[in-house]
Amino acid sequence: MYVVLLGPPGSGKGTQGSIIAEQLRISHLSTGDLFREILQNPSHPLYPQVQVVDEGKLVSDDVVNLVVEDGIRKPEYRNGVIFDGYPRTIAQARALDCMLAAMDKKVDLVLDLDVTQDVLLFRILGRQVCPKCKKVFHERQGFKNCPDCGGPLVRRNDDNEETILQRLEEYRKKTAPLQEYYSKSKAVYIKLYIDDASKTAEDVNKEILELMKQNNVLYEVV
Ligand SMILES: [Zn+2]
């Protein structure tokens, strides 16, 4: 099964991606991880093209597509993939369709996490990070120090209302064409509306599984 995950920064996309990947026994593919893997291996055929990212230059659709195509052919992705952070553009979505078609596969499901601006602001503005172990918490949990390693929790500088609204606006502009592309495609399109900040990742996951059942795309859950 091949799943595309859409959702703004702070929507819990990464978390849901990992949970669902485990539940469906498919692999969670993040392009960031694939890029890092290639950068650690200078003899990789895509190393020269990927290296420019390390120099802070923008990557073209072509390079991202090549990296994903190289990635999904690996044995660990054979059972299926949940894509997180890819595709980001129509060109990438088309390329993904071609790659999968060449493997006699297709995008089966698109999960669109539609989180309201209020919920995003609540989550991100209350976010606290442990600089030592990188774990993320929320103010409402009431921790002053990291419950795991004891380090004092801090906030990220760019977690302020202005930057969040900017990021969100950018996301909306970029994603609208993708939402349209996939809603017209053969993939099952599930939009999950999240307007309640008290919902936990488990709550959201239950709702996703329920909607998948209703849409007949839930075959087996671990
Ligand atoms: Zn810690």
Q: What percent of the chain has pLDDT over 90?
A: 66
| Domain 2-214, second-level architecture | 3-Layer(aba) Sandwich (3.40)
216: CB partners within 8 A, 6+ apart:
188
HSE toward the beta carbon, residue 32, CA cutoff 13 A: 4
pLDDT band for position 47 (50/70/90)? very high
Q: How far is the CA of 168 from the centre of ligand 1 (A)?
A: 28
Neighbours of ion ligand 1 (CB under 5 A): 130, 132-133, 146, 148-149, 151
Q: Is the pLDDT of residue 222 over 90?
A: no
Whether 167 is catalytic is yes
**Mean pLDDT, range 65-78, rounded to an integer:** 92
CA distances, 112 to each of 16, 68, 128, 180, 190 (Å):
11, 21, 26, 12, 6
Catalytic annotation, pick one of 88, 105, 135, 155: 88
Q: Summarize pLDDT for 75-122 with one digit per residue, the tens.
A: 988 889 999 889 999 999 999 999 999 999 999 999 999 999 999 999
Q: How far is the CA of 15 from the centre of ligand 1 (A)?
A: 18
Contact 133, 151 (CB under 8 A): yes
Whether 127 is catalytic is yes
- Residue 9 confidence (pLDDT): 83
**Mean pLDDT, range 22-43, rounded to an integer:** 91
Within 10 A of 141 (CB to CB), how many other CB atoms are there? 10
Domain range list for the chain: 2-214
> Quick one: tokens of 120?
């995003």
Please tell me the pTM assigned to this model.
0.85
Q: Is the pLDDT of residue 55 over 80?
A: no
Cα–Cα distance, 92 to 70 (Å, whole number): 14
**Mean pLDDT, range 182-199, rounded to an integer:** 93
Q: Is the pLDDT of residue 190 over 90?
A: yes
Q: How far is the CA of 128 from the centre of ligand 1 (A)?
A: 11
Catalytic annotation, pick one of 140, 156, 174, 213: 156
